[in-house]
Chains A and B, each alone.
Chain A
């Protein structure tokens, strides 16, 4: 099969999901290109979360198809999705607060050194590589040995995003990354999103704050009643338009 024939990293076509008689998703189609930030917006219960859980491999769709880098792909599990490069960053689940940044960064992917038949953590390499990655994505003021509990909410998001990028994330799914953050913290997270975007990573952003999502997204996909209501380039839709659409005035 041809690779990336249409240039999309991910495309979903006519995605549907039923739970018994409840229709959670009726017909959702949209695409994300490399280095593109797509804002997925919609009211509570519109179907955003269901769509995301299908893309992460948690749910199998009842209908429709997923194209990953141009190929029709059946996502078997969250592990399968992760192996392909689909990485999700959750608000609270991302990091272990009591561990250092470096130990979080390499959790379950720890570099080791062989000493005879035994394998030991390569702590030096963990710290140095983490410092390097943090600089790469524009976080210059954090020490890798700092415990995550000492970080602000924005820094935690930034570290979590940096981690997924470093471990081969090609599509990052961010579920309300700024919901608990101050304006300044939000700017920090957005600057990290800009950094990974510049490196060709695709981003799907679920966000309730229309000002935020309009600020960072290249395209906005509005989901309503389980279907895509509209798919807009940022320049074609204003924040006010978005809020009207969501309120059902248009």
Chain B
């Protein structure tokens, strides 16, 4: 991920500067920013009074936080060259586990939350261990574990909603309402996003995540512990699936076993819209977060414009395809110019 500082430093060196065009197309978030502008203009025209209201912006951001925190994990995992299709089952399972631990098992909420995040992280690490241990593509591994954990979620919940303790102060801090339809999860999401952006762009581990996704053999050849780097990305994905479940629990006080079944694909869609290459090695956490905002905005805008909500899937699907086409042509163009 290149940034302003990185480019600035290069400009001080007496080297040929890349052209403006060249630098612009290398910004991975460019596409999603353009799409956001187009979508905002479109919905402002279709629903001029409601779309830009504080209420609606709060609702969009709250929905963005729940999807967006998972898309941070998905983006980092995709950059490292792997996928996790099981995120939705992990989300539902760990959410229900937190509910049961805090109510049926009678644990204090903070302890239930810690156990829940440990469970979701472990599920992520297990996906990594199976994938790396057997060398099965992670797409297949996690397709399997998606069903395994979905089944276990149904078994654990017996098919019912599971609630946390009502009016729990910790849950209010994690995801309670601050204003009408605006929840504290938004702040957590932005905070986690900033940490992830710094991790990916400004630490050695971040550089290794890009490297193992771009060319694992080359990374290994210079000593990068490729297996451990990928395990980190799998574990982080699991942890953030758990955080997403916490946001839901904070917002509505309960989790249903059928919740989140689209979460993995939506998070992957948000990452791709935000500039992640499905082949690994390139992408952006900020882009994935903006991708989540775009998707939440489309969902809300369609409702406000009076369109049937099933158009949401159609819309997002089309945007994913357009995003992949544009990303591919950009990376081809970058490869052709210096």
Contact = CB atoms under 8 A, between A and B. Distances in A.
B111 to A, nearest CB: 27
Contact of A93 (B3, B218, B281): B218
Interface stretch (A28-36, A143-151, A218-226): A143-151
A123 B13 CA distance: 13
B228 to A, nearest CB: 12
A95 B282 contact: no
Interface in A61-111: 79, 90, 93-100, 103, 106-110
A90 B213 CA distance: 19
Interface stretch (B196-204, B244-252, B295-303): B196-204
A149 B334 contact: yes
Contact of B211 (A93, A94, A107, A127): A107
Nearest to B7: A145
A91 to B, nearest CB: 11
A37 to B, nearest CB: 23
Nearest to B204: A110
Contacts of A99: 207, 210-211, 214, 281
A141 B338 CA distance: 10
Contacts of A136: none
A93 B217 contact: yes
Contacts of A119: 203-204
A143 B334 CA distance: 14
A93 B211 CA distance: 12
Interface in B180-224: 198, 201-204, 206-208, 210-211, 213-215, 217-219, 221-224
A112 interface: yes
Interface string A122-161: 0110011001000000001111111101110000000000
A19 interface: no
A121 B198 CA distance: 10
Chain B interface main SS type: helix
Contacts of A110: 204, 207
B165 interface: no
A4 B213 CA distance: 42
B21 interface: no
Interface residues of A, number: 36
A152 B217 CA distance: 20
Contact of A143 (B15, B213, B219): B15
Interface centre among B14, B15, B277, B336 (most CB of A within 10 A): B15
Nearest to B6: A123
A107 to B, nearest CB: 5
Nearest to B331: A149
Chain A interface main SS type: loop
A100 B217 contact: no
Interface centre among A131, A140, A142 (most CB of B within 10 A): A131
A66 B337 CA distance: 45
Nearest to B23: A145
B24 interface: no
A210 B205 CA distance: 43
Contacts of A146: 18, 338
A145 B165 CA distance: 52
B219 A107 contact: yes
Contacts of B203: 119-121
B236 to A, nearest CB: 17
Given A121-B204, A121-B207, A150-B335, A98 B213 contact: yes
B55 interface: no
A96 B17 contact: no
A127 B207 contact: no
Contact of B202 (A93, A96, A108, A121): A121
Nearest to A94: B218
B207 A97 contact: no
B214 A93 contact: no
A142 B222 contact: no
Given A144-B10, A146-B338, A96 B210 contact: yes
Contact of B221 (A93, A120, A127): A93
A131 B115 CA distance: 49
Nearest to A151: B338
B9 interface: yes
Given A99-B211, A103-B210, A149-B331, A143 B17 contact: yes
B285 to A, nearest CB: 15
Contact of B204 (A93, A112, A142): A112
25 contacts: A90-B221, A96-B281, A97-B214, A97-B281, A98-B277, A98-B280, A107-B219, A107-B224, A108-B219, A120-B202, A121-B204, A124-B5, A124-B9, A128-B9, A131-B15, A140-B15, A142-B15, A142-B16, A142-B338, A143-B13, A143-B18, A144-B10, A147-B334, A150-B335, A150-B337
Interface of B: 2-3, 5-7, 9-10, 12-18, 26, 198, 201-204, 206-208, 210-211, 213-215, 217-219, 221-224, 277, 280-282, 331, 334-338
Q: Which 6 A-B pairs have the closest CB atoms?
A: A98-B281, A98-B214, A96-B214, A131-B13, A124-B9, A96-B215
Given A98-B280, A108-B222, A124-B9, 4 more contacts: A123-B202, A124-B5, A141-B15, A145-B7
